[in-house]
């Protein structure tokens, strides 16, 4: 419904005028982004930033992606979720497992995430076609069908596709120079992490999003706890000895570099922006405003919620892959439910429903909490950080409850409404406005 | 003439509480039909059930010859059966214009959407003046206009209106009812639920009296208006 095209047309036609071009939000954003990218890249290249600060920047980017996903779910769709770290964990472990296996000459991870995800997707399309043939399928029935589809698809992948396609994948990738194949594997691993987070959120979301927002929050908290417990037992209950359960997974290749981080972050920001500017995005936001009203204008509320939830979780999964290959070590303790409040705090801090605020707060959060305060608080006082930030949060709620940025967006992210046609809108149809605004007061009193 | 909407033996309950037991009525194409009744008679429940916000226990709802019992709410809107809810339910942080655009959510004919918006502004000039204002800042009367305008943006064939006069000053009530007549003249069929029976009967062709979840009386608007029982119960003697 909301078209970006007119503004693009303006940009193209304004090519001859550099001053005007500079004022276009898209140009500023792309230019600023590239500058930021080049700056960090140069600082890293010339060792101005040491590994510690490199880690802080990467961490900041990863947590920003997680928080953006949560902002989509909570800030824009209105579904209070504490499950974001669960999906972050799924993304981390999935991606790490793929690359770990690859570096131990086992292509099964790649086959599973690549072909398994595709097969799951195909099965899902099949199941929704099948269920679409019936009127009003009960939620639990839908859920059961999708779970069975997932299990069958993954079982087929592991049982048949891995033995048959594994050698092919190995053959193709080993034919390439090793740095190219490593990059491809890393790319597939990130994709796989995101896809698995998406699949998990889809299955979890079908029954649970039916609950009201608060109950949904509690259920997602449960989800985070379950994931943590499963990760503690990856080598006993789950068949992944390489994840080493509660001892923590080691030996993950450190493949995350600044271009990967930056590209993922830009991808997340652009996808989210374009989604929110589309009619689907409007549907998502109107679900937050008033579910009943959304239903009455023809929005499929359940689908909008699931969509926002899955996309938000995919962002978290992607961030997980990035973070795992920077840390090179994963521990279930990193994903416990206390941690799952981090993205929530960032989102609230930056402003619910503001992408700009989330990006800012995500970086600032890690930069201050894990960077500056960790380094400059006197020895033995590091843990006081966790006294400082709740205090800041408290003050924030008292002084500026709408968050740092409120609902402000920087120009590139802001939604531009299409130009009004001359006939349709004449704001302030002269004279009339004043007299009728006088009426409003009167009406307001009578009506209220 | 075939009925546009036909409700047969409708049973609806909220958990253990049975709200409707066996409501049967019909609305013909082009008519204005009103359901009148006291609080808790099941008027709003009937409308909500028709637009699929509530599940049906038993009975069927036929719309344009098609059984729509159990169809999803969003698909009901696509069939141009539009519900103006009780209490307006506009999107308060969105502007008037955005609210109206949301009303056209299910449509993709861009030019005609503009034409519909122009039509809404013709019916409610007040909304044109408020086009860039957010819905929450409007007065109650304007919000009701916006709610009706938003429904019109979906190009309704059948419009369900739930208490459009609720909480409005008498002068605004008349204004709203004039608009209802106007909308009806444009060929939209209207099913109107009202507590203000007098006003409702003044615009309606036919009416039904709903009491404790069942239809008690039916007739033309004049007949109902003249009926002594109706006069005693709803028109104040």
Question: For residue range A221-244, what is the model confidence (pLDDT) as tens digits?
Answer: 999 999 999 999 998 888 888 898
Interchain pair A298, B139: CB under 8 A: no
d(C-alpha A306, C-alpha A72), whole Å? 11
Closest Cα in chain A to B72: A136
Comparing CB atoms, the residue among B71, B103, B142 nearest residue A297 is: B103
Give pLDDT, residue B1: 54
The model's pLDDT over A295-342, given as tens digits with 9 standing for 90+, comes to 999 999 999 999 999 999 999 999 999 999 999 899 999 898 888 888
Interchain pair B97, A425: CB under 8 A: yes
Comparing CB atoms, the residue among B53, B114, B140 nearest residue A421 is: B114
Interchain pair B140, A292: CB under 8 A: no
Looking at chain A from residue 342 to 381, which residues have their Cβ under 8 Å from any Cβ of chain B? none
The model's pLDDT over B157-206, given as tens digits with 9 standing for 90+, comes to 999 999 998 888 889 999 999 999 999 999 999 999 988 888 899 999 99
pLDDT score of A15 more than 60: no
**B20 falls within a domain:** yes
**A434 falls within a domain:** no
Q: Which residues pair with B206 in a beta bridge?
A: B33, B220
Interchain pair A292, B89: CB under 8 A: yes
How far does the CA of residue A210 sit from the closest CA of chain B (Å)? 14
pLDDT score of A438 more than 50: no
d(C-alpha A59, C-alpha A47), whole Å? 18
Give pLDDT, residue B177: 93
Tell whether A296 lies on the interface with B, counting CB pairs under 8 A: yes
Give pLDDT, residue A22: 58
**B184 falls within a domain:** no
pLDDT score of B9 more than 60: yes
The model's confidence at residue A199, banded by pLDDT at 50, 70 and 90, is very high
Comparing CB atoms, the residue among B128, B141, B154 nearest residue A426 is: B128
Comparing CB atoms, the residue among A136, A301, A423 nearest residue B118 is: A423
Give pLDDT, residue A194: 96
Interchain pair A293, B140: CB under 8 A: no
More confident residue, A151 or A393: A151
Interchain pair B139, A444: CB under 8 A: yes
d(C-alpha A145, C-alpha B183), whole Å? 46
Of B42, B104, B77, give the one whose Cα is nearest residue B160.
B77
How far does the CA of residue A291 sit from the closest CA of chain B (Å)? 10
Give pLDDT, residue B237: 59
The model's pLDDT over A90-142, given as tens digits with 9 standing for 90+, comes to 999 999 999 999 999 888 899 998 899 999 999 999 998 888 777 667 788 88
pLDDT score of B223 more than 80: yes
Give pLDDT, residue A233: 92
How far does the CA of residue A148 sit from the closest CA of chain B (Å)? 25
How far does the CA of residue B121 sit from the closest CA of chain A (Å)? 8
d(C-alpha B48, C-alpha A186), whole Å? 52
Tell whether A425 lies on the interface with B, counting CB pairs under 8 A: yes
Domain count, chain B: 1
ipTM rounded to 2 decimals: 0.87
Interchain pair B92, A289: CB under 8 A: yes
Among A145-154, A162-171, A380-389, B199-208, name the one with the lowest average pLDDT: A380-389
Read off φ and ψ for residue A413, nearest 5 degrees: -85, -15
Give pLDDT, residue B137: 93
**A7 falls within a domain:** no
Share of chain A above pLDDT 70, in %: 86
Q: State the best of B55, B72, B82, B139 to mutate against chain A, taking most chain A CBs within 10 Å.
A: B139
Average pLDDT, chain B: 91
Give pLDDT, residue B151: 95
How far does the CA of residue B228 sit from the closest CA of chain A (Å)? 32
The model's pLDDT over A159-195, given as tens digits with 9 standing for 90+, comes to 999 989 988 888 888 888 988 999 999 999 999 999 9
**A440 falls within a domain:** no
Share of chain B above pLDDT 90, in %: 68
**B196 falls within a domain:** yes
Question: What residues of A are in contact with residue B105 (Cβ under 8 Å)?
Answer: 1, 279, 282-283, 297-299
Share of chain B above pLDDT 70, in %: 99
Interchain pair A298, B53: CB under 8 A: no
**B181 falls within a domain:** no
Average pLDDT, chain A: 84
The CATH number of the domain holding residue B55 is: 3.40.50.300
**A439 falls within a domain:** no
pLDDT score of B134 more than 50: yes
Closest Cα in chain B to A137: B70
10 Å CB burial of residue A22 (0-12, 13-18, 19+) is exposed
Looking at chain A from residue 264 to 293, which residues have their Cβ under 8 Å from any Cβ of chain B? 279, 282-283, 286, 289-290, 292-293
Tell whether A434 lies on the interface with B, counting CB pairs under 8 A: no
Interchain pair B139, A282: CB under 8 A: no
**B119 falls within a domain:** no
Give pLDDT, residue B96: 93
Domain count, chain A: 1
The domain containing residue B49 runs over which residues? Answer: 1-72+158-164+189-237
The domain containing residue A148 runs over which residues? Answer: 20-423
**A290 falls within a domain:** yes
Give pLDDT, residue B233: 83
Give pLDDT, residue A427: 42
Comparing CB atoms, the residue among B117, B126, B167 nearest residue A424 is: B117
How far does the CA of residue A428 sit from the closest CA of chain B (Å)? 5
As given in the structure block, the two tokens for residue A87 are 């999906």
């Amino acid at each position: 419904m909301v078209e970006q095209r007119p503004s693009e047309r303006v940009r193209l036609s304004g090519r001859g005028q550099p001053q005007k071009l500079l004022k276009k939000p898209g140009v500023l954003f792309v230019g600023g982004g590239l500058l930021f990218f080049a700056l960090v890249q140069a600082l890293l290249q010339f060792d101005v930033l040491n590994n510690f600060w490199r880690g802080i920047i990467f961490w900041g980017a990863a947590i920003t992606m997680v928080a953006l996903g949560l902002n989509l779910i909570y800030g824009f769709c209105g579904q209070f979720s504490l499950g974001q770290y669960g999906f972050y964990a799924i993304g981390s472990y999935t991606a790490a497992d793929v690359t770990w296996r690859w570096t131990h000459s086992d292509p099964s991870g790649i086959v599973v995430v690549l072909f398994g995800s595709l097969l799951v997707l195909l099965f899902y399309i099949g199941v929704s076609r099948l269920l679409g043939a019936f009127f009003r399928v009960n939620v639990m029935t839908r859920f059961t069908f999708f779970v069975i589809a997932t299990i069958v698809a993954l079982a087929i992948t592991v049982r048949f596709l891995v033995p048959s396609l594994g050698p092919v994948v190995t053959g193709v990738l080993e034919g390439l120079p090793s740095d190219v194949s490593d990059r491809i594997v890393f790319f597939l691993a990130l994709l796989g992490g995101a896809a698995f987070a998406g699949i998990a959120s889809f299955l979890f979301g079908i029954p649970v999003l039916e609950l009201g927002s608060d109950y949904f929050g509690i259920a997602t908290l449960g989800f985070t706890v379950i994931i943590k417990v499963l990760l503690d037992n990856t080598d006993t209950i789950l068949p992944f000895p390489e994840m080493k359960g509660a001892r923590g997974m080691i030996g993950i290749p450190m493949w995350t570099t600044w271009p990967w981080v930056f590209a993922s972050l830009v991808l997340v920001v652009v996808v989210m922006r374009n989604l929110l500017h589309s009619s689907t995005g409007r549907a998502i936001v109107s679900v937050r405003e008033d579910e009943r009203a959304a239903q009455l204008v023809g929005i499929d509320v359940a689908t909008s919620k699931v969509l926002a939830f899955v996309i938000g979780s995919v962002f978290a999964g992607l961030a997980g892959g990035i973070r795992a290959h920077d840390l090179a070590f994963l521990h279930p303790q990193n994903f416990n439910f206390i941690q799952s409040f981090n993205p929530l705090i960032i989102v609230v801090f930056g402003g619910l429903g503001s992408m700009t605020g989330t990006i800012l707060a995500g970086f600032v959060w890690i930069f201050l909490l894990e960077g500056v305060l960790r380094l400059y608080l006197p020895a033995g006082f590091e843990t006081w950080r966790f006294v400082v930030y709740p205090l800041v949060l408290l003050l924030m709620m008292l002084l500026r409850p709408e968050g740092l940025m409120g609902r402000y967006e920087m120009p590139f992210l802001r939604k531009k409404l299409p130009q009004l046609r001359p006939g349709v809108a004449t704001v302030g149809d002269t004279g009339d406005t004043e007299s009728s605004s006088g009426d409003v007061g009167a009406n307001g009193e009578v009506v209220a | 003439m075939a009925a546009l909407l036909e409700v047969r033996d409708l049973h609806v309950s909220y958990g253990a509480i049975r709200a409707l037991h066996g409501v049967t009525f019909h609305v013909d194409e082009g008519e204005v039909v009103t359901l009148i009744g006291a609080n808790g008679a099941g008027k709003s429940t009937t409308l909500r059930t028709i637009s699929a916000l509530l599940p049906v226990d038993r009975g069927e709802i036929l719309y344009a010859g098609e059984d729509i019992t159990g169809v999803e709410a969003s698909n009901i809107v696509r069939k141009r059966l539009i519900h103006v809810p009780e209490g307006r339910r506009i999107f308060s942080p969105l502007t008037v214009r955005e609210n109206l655009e949301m009303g056209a959510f299910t449509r993709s004919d861009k030019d005609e959407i503009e034409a519909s918006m122009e039509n809404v502004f013709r019916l409610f000039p007040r909304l044109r003046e408020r086009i860039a204002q957010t819905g929450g800042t409007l007065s109650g009367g304007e919000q009701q206009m916006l709610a009706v305008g938003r429904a019109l943006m979906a190009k309704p064939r059948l419009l369900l209106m739930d208490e459009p006069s609720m909480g409005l000053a008498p002068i605004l009530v008349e204004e709203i009812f004039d608009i209802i007549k106007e909308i009806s003249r444009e060929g939209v069929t209207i099913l109107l639920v009202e507590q203000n029976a007098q006003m409702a009967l003044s615009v309606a062709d036919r009416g039904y009296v709903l009491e404790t979840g069942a239809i008690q009386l039916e007739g033309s608007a004049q007949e109902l208006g003249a009926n002594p029982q109706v006069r005693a119960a709803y028109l104040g003697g």
